């Protein structure tokens, strides 16, 4: 072969088969000479020359067999090339330097290199440069690269090759050297990608290992799982229980078919308690997320009893960390917990009672700690009286919703068994009251106080029952020996502690009293030497005197004392120093700003037994400035009370005088009809006046105690003004006042109780009438604003001072009283006005320019935007009388005069009247006479009026009679009780006889 066509190529002759393959590829004509040269690693000239040589010798293929054998052709080159190019295995040819001379498509695809890239460097440096463990792989150590120089074949060699992108793939390769004239010139390499096969083999090996490990683990697992000293389960991540050992199921009394397949937290261990189910579910779901969860918890067994367990919820994961299962395991810690809790409880109780200072604290602490520890309904401690019959529960602890049993009881109430056990010192243990006790043997009493199970432990001292401790349960309970022993141990301990603190209480009270003089934070404390100079003072003392401690130290007490109190203070201090006699004095101190501070000062001498010069005077100082001010206010209130009582006496005597005179007149002479009518009118008018005074007093009482019930409706304020003016018109006309009413042009609605708001305006108008001279002027005006409605009452009367304005709405406040101006009233009208207005969420204020310049009172109420009740709501139901007939009426009143007067009045109206002063006699007579109506007093001796009403309703002959209460009890509660007893109507004395007649006319 010519050497000129091999410039730039490795210096060796290409074998005939190779030249034939290149020539055949060129003969196909689908690729240019340049492309084929690049593909086969030769020059374009070589491609063209080998193609021409192929054409020149093509005829030799048709020569005879002898002729063909003498001609060197391409050694089946086309067949070899076709096989190589279409093979799924990689084929490559490598020269003596390790450079790639040829690579088929499969090899290029395996490595990711192009033809140019794979020919650029030795093939080893491209695909075989490192060992699988990452160490560099030298070329001279590679068996494929050694095959040519060492002249050996490589067969079925497994190795790890690298792709262009750095990834690796497993290969099974073979390599054979090519010889030319006995000289090795190239290496042919066959490469098969066995990565997938290797992965399959690895998985198979892993599966075998896993199967072996699983078999070994399962044997260990079953041995471990079925241990009898702990609970073990397996559940899916969603909580479904798929396995549980015998101790978990049968050991707890459950059936396996009731547990497997359910959610773990719905199993019988937890299903009796929603709280437990919620707690276990939360833990199981947290474990399903890959976290180990551990906590101590209560659990149930099949018979319903509770126990304690230390529960661990552990996730079971695969190699990738994915949670496959959750394994709950638990150890029963009931007994250890009981011991631990008992010891802890005893220690806690000991700690709590060791420093307790009073018996109640010990009882409270012990009963609370025992009750919570045993999870019972109630725990009580009782002292027993000396006669061993009465016992007192001074304090008990109760669970939420349970009633306290504190009080005094007799042992016999709880049955013979309980009484005998207590007196003999035996602990009473009842697990089921209904099953163990008869109704007459204490079961009834236990059931009344909600007890179904009890431990009651007596303490007997010197043969006498001294104390008892009991725990109660609202449900039957199987008490354990530990629980019984705990109560027995605690009753003795508690009694010892209680008696100890009781014996020391008197001494401690004395000590506490003494220490409080020094330690009370509300008192100022100062120490002085016997010359009266301050040597120490606490912060409270400094604040009281408005000086710092530094300013007070060394200062004489005389400098701090008000001049008016100096002489007495000095005298008392001298006696203290001379005789050691403590003293207490109320005196004034002078603050730094010159203000006086009232103080109660208790001074005692503290002697130093070692040295007379060390004696000090200790002063405990209480600020009583506010008390002194309060005393002044009380004096003022007392003065106003005395004035009020005097005015009340005056107001009550005024109507009593004409009533008494009228009574005398009626008794002394026979009056004609005109004089009798005049006398009757006077009595009625004065009674109405007295009734009004009493109603005012009752109104104030009800309002100040919050007993007034409003019945508000939407109402035009002009209606209120109209009603009020009508009620006061007679008084205005009597004093010849000029009344002006200024109404707003538009409607102004307020949400108000009509009766009460009219009462407010009536009181304001009466106030104006009272304090305005005759022929004075009174103006009532309405001012409508967007949010409020104001109505005002203004007069040109005597006016008010600023001091009187500030207290105008206080109880018992009036303008200056004098004997020549007694306009009546008790000083409660304005106080009632303010209270009623505030109940309507309104305000009231008073104004006056001064004495003699008149007054103005303004009420402000919230304005309504639109009506809140239907039209016509103010229409009142009138009693429609029917034709009257003579009735039989029974009057029952222990006040003979009141009964007689009412009887005479009703007889004068044509009715037959029966009078009784005793309830039992009245009941008997009513049964005989069957009255149409009964007028009963409530405050009757023996059987009261309400009881009499119930009895009358129970008698067939009086069941339908009209029952009217006529009483002095006028509170709302009294009215409700009367109506509940069966009364049809309730009247407060003195009764308006017109109302009585109107009711009687309704009887057909």
Give tens-digit pLDDT for 75-94: 455 666 777 777 778 889 99
User: Could you tell me how far CA 13 lies from the centroid of its own chain?
Assistant: 100
| Distance from C-alpha of 896 to C-alpha of 901, rounded to nearest angstrom | 9
| Distance from C-alpha of 464 to C-alpha of 386, rounded to nearest angstrom | 8
Bigger pLDDT: 816 vs 656: 656
pLDDT band at 890 (very low <50, low <70, confident <90, very high): very high
Query: Token pair 């020539």 is at which residue?
Result: 23
Average pLDDT over residues 378-396: 84
Q: Which residues are 390's β-sheet partners?
A: 410
**Mean pLDDT, rounded, of the chain:** 81
Looking at residue 80, what is its pLDDT?
67
Bigger pLDDT: 108 vs 223: 108
Contact 809, 846 (CB under 8 A): yes
Percent of the chain with pLDDT over 70: 82
Bigger pLDDT: 650 vs 755: 755
| Distance from C-alpha of 599 to C-alpha of 489, rounded to nearest angstrom | 54
Q: Is the pLDDT of residue 213 over 80?
A: no
Percent of the chain with pLDDT over 90: 22
Looking at residue 868, what is its pLDDT?
40
Contact 279, 299 (CB under 8 A): no
Looking at residue 72, what is its pLDDT?
43
| Distance from C-alpha of 346 to C-alpha of 496, rounded to nearest angstrom | 14
Looking at residue 960, what is its pLDDT?
92
Cα angle, residue 455 at apex, residues 452 and 457 outer, rounded to 5°: 150
* Closest by Cα among 301, 281, 470 to 371: 470
| Distance from C-alpha of 391 to C-alpha of 468, rounded to nearest angstrom | 9
Q: Is the pLDDT of residue 935 over 90?
A: yes
DSSP annotation of 300 reads E
Query: Token pair 């293929």 is at which residue?
Result: 61
Q: What is the pLDDT of residues 960-985, one digit of tens each?
A: 999 999 887 777 788 889 999 999 99
Looking at residue 113, what is its pLDDT?
92
- When mean pLDDT is compared across 280-289, 346-355, 553-562, the lowest value belongs to 346-355
Bigger pLDDT: 665 vs 873: 665
DSSP annotation of 441 reads G
Average pLDDT over residues 711-724: 84
Looking at residue 648, what is its pLDDT?
61
Average pLDDT over residues 782-788: 88
Looking at residue 74, what is its pLDDT?
41
Kindly list the distances between the CA atom of residue 688 and the CA atoms of 226, 652, 663, in Å, as whole numbers in the listed order. 98, 12, 16
| Distance from C-alpha of 682 to C-alpha of 655, rounded to nearest angstrom | 9
Strand ranges (DSSP E) for 717-776? 738-742, 749-752
Average pLDDT over residues 803-810: 74
Looking at residue 822, what is its pLDDT?
42
Q: Is the pLDDT of residue 918 over 50?
A: yes
Q: What is the pLDDT of residues 19-68, one digit of tens each?
A: 776 777 777 677 788 888 877 778 888 888 887 877 766 545 444 444 44
Looking at residue 50, what is its pLDDT?
81
Judged by phi (left if over 0) then psi (alpha if -120 to 50, else beta), residue 98 lies in left
Contact 5, 43 (CB under 8 A): yes
Bigger pLDDT: 773 vs 3: 773
Q: What is the pLDDT of residues 750-764, one digit of tens each?
A: 888 888 888 889 889
Contact 109, 92 (CB under 8 A): no
Judged by phi (left if over 0) then psi (alpha if -120 to 50, else beta), residue 286 lies in alpha
Average pLDDT over residues 124-138: 88
| Distance from C-alpha of 126 to C-alpha of 704, rounded to nearest angstrom | 107
| Distance from C-alpha of 339 to C-alpha of 175, rounded to nearest angstrom | 81
Average pLDDT over residues 620-632: 85
3-state secondary structure of 401: coil
Looking at residue 961, what is its pLDDT?
92
Looking at residue 904, what is its pLDDT?
79
Contact 162, 168 (CB under 8 A): yes
| Distance from C-alpha of 111 to C-alpha of 93, rounded to nearest angstrom | 15
Query: HEC profile for 507-535?
Result: HHHHHHHHHHHHHCCCCEEEEECCCCEEE
- Any residues with CB less than 8 A from the CB of 449 and at least 6 apart, and which? 403, 405, 472
Structure-token pair, residue 587: 């005196």
Looking at residue 870, what is its pLDDT?
35
pLDDT band at 933 (very low <50, low <70, confident <90, very high): very high
Q: Is the pTM of this model over 0.85?
A: no
Burial letters 242-253, b for 16+ CB under 10 A, else e: eebbebbbeebe
Q: Is the pLDDT of residue 953 over 70?
A: yes
Kindly list the distances between the CA atom of residue 872 and the CA atoms of 752, 800, 867, 875, 877, in Å, as whole numbers in the listed order. 16, 42, 12, 6, 12
| CA count, 13 A, side-chain hemisphere, 474 | 13
Looking at residue 139, what is its pLDDT?
87
What's the order of all strands across the beta sheet hosting 912-916? 912-916, 888-892, 933-936, 962-967, 985-988
Bigger pLDDT: 47 vs 1004: 47
| Distance from C-alpha of 818 to C-alpha of 807, rounded to nearest angstrom | 19
pLDDT band at 665 (very low <50, low <70, confident <90, very high): low
Q: Is the pLDDT of residue 795 over 70?
A: yes
């Amino acid at each position: 072969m010519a050497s000129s066509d091999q410039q730039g190529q490795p210096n060796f002759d290409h074998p005939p088969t190779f030249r034939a393959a290149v020539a055949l590829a060129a003969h196909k004509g689908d690729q240019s000479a340049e492309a084929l040269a690049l593909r086969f690693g030769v020059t374009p000239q070589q491609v063209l020359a080998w193609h021409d040589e192929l054409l020149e010798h093509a005829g030799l293929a048709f020569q005879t067999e002898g002729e063909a054998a003498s001609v060197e052709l391409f050694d089946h080159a086309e067949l070899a090339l076709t096989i190589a190019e279409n093979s799924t295995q990689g084929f490559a040819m490598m020269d003596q330097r390790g450079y790639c001379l040829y690579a088929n498509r499969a090899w290029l695809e395996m490595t990711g290199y192009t033809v140019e890239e794979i020919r650029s460097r030795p093939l080893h440096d491209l695909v075989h440069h490192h060992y699988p463990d990452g160490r560099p792989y030298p070329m001279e150590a590679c068996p494929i690269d050694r095959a040519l120089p060492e002249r050996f074949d490589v067969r079925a060699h497994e190795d790890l090759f690298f792709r262009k992108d750095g990834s690796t793939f497993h290969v099974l390769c073979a390599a054979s050297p090519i010889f030319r004239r006995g000289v090795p010139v190239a290496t042919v390499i066959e490469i098969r990608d066995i990565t997938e096969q290797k992965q399959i083999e690895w998985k198979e090996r892993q599966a075998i290992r896993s199967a072996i490990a699983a078999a070994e683990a399962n044997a260990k697992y079953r041995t471990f799982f079925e241990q009898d000293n702990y609970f073990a389960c397996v559940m899916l991540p969603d909580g479904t229980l798929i396995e549980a050992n015998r101790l978990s199921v049968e050991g707890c009394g459950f059936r396996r078919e009731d547990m497997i397949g359910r959610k773990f937290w719905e199993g019988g261990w937890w299903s009796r308690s929603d709280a437990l189910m919620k707690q276990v579910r939360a833990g199981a779901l947290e474990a399903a997320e890959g976290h180990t969860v551990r906590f101590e918890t209560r659990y149930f067994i099949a018979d319903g009893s509770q126990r304690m367990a230390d529960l661990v919820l552990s996730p079971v994961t695969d190699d990738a960390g994915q949670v496959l299962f959750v394994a709950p395991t638990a150890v029963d810690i009931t007994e250890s917990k009981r011991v631990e809790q008992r010891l802890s409880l005893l220690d806690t109780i000991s700690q709590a009672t060791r420093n307790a200072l009073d018996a109640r604290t010990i009882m409270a602490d012990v009963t609370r700690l025992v009750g919570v520890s045993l999870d019972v309904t109630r725990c009580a401690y009782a002292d027993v009286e000396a006669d061993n019959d009465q016992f007192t529960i001074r304090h008990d602890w109760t669970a939420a919703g349970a009633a306290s049993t504190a009080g005094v009881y007799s042992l016999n109430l709880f049955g013979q068994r309980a009484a005998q056990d207590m007196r003999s010192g035996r602990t009473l243990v009842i697990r089921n009251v209904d099953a163990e006790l008869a109704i007459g043997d204490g079961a009834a009493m236990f059931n009344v106080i909600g007890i179904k199970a009890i431990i009651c432990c007596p303490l007997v001292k010197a043969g006498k029952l001294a104390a008892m401790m009991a725990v109660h349960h609202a449900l039957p309970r199987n008490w354990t020996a530990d629980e019984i022993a705990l109560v027995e141990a605690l009753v003795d301990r508690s009694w010892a502690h209680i008696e100890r603190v009781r014996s020391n209480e008197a001494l401690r009270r004395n000590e506490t009293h003494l220490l409080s003089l020094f330690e009370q934070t509300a008192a100022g404390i100062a120490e002085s030497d016997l010359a009266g100079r301050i040597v120490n003072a606490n912060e409270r003392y400094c604040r009281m005197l408005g000086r710092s401690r530094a300013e007070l130290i060394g200062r004489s007490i005389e400098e701090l004392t008000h001049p008016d109190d100096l002489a007495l203070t000095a005298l008392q201090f001298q006696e203290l120093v001379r005789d050691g006699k403590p003293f207490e004095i109320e005196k004034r101190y002078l603050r730094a700003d010159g203000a006086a501070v009232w103080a109660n000062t208790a001074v005692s001498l503290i002697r130093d037994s070692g040295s007379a010069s060390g004696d000090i005077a200790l002063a405990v100082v209480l600020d009583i400035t506010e008390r002194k001010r309060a005393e002044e206010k009380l004096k003022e209130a007392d003065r106003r009370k005395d004035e009020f009582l005097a005015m009340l006496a005056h107001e009550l005597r005024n109507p009593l005088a004409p009533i008494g005179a009228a009574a005398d007149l009626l008794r002394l002479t026979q009056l004609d009809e005109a004089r009798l009518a005049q006398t009757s009118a006077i009595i009625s008018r004065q009674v109405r006046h007295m009734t009004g005074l009493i109603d005012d007093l009752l109104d104030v009482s009800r309002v100040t105690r919050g007993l007034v019930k409003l019945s508000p409706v939407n109402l035009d304020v002009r209606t209120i003004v109209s009603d009020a003016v009508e009620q006061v018109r007679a008084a205005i006309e009597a004093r010849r006042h000029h009344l002006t009413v200024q109404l707003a042009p538009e409607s102004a609605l307020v949400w108000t109780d009509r009766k009460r708001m009219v009462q407010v305006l009536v009181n304001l108008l009466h106030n104006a009438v009272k304090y305005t001279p005759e022929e004075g002027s009174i103006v009532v005006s309405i001012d409508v604003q967007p949010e409020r409605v104001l109505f005002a009452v203004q007069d040109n009367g005597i006016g008010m001072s600023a001091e009187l304005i500030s207290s105008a709405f206080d109880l018992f406040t009036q303008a200056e009283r004098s004997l020549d101006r007694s306009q009546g009233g008790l000083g409660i009208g304005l106080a009632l006005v303010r209270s009623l207005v505030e109940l309507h969420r309104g305000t009231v204020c008073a104004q006056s320019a001064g004495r003699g310049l008149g007054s103005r009172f303004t009420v402000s109420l919230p304005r309504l935007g639109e009506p809140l009740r239907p039209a016509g709501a103010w229409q009142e139901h009138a009693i429609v009388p029917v034709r009257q007939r003579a009735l039989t009426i029974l009057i029952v009143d222990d006040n003979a005069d009141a009964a007689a007067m009412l009887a005479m009045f009703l007889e004068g109206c044509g009715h037959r009247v029966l009078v009784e002063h005793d309830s039992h006699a009245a009941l008997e007579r009513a049964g005989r006479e069957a009255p149409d109506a009964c007028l009963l007093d409530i405050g009757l001796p023996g059987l009261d009026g309400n009881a009499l009403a119930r009895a009358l309703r129970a008698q067939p002959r009086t069941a339908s009679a009209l029952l009217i209460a006529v009483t002095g009890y006028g509170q709302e509660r009294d009215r409700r009780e009367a109506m509940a007893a069966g009364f049809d109507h309730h009247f407060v004395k003195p009764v308006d006889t017109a109302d009585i007649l109107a009711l009687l006319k309704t009887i057909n």
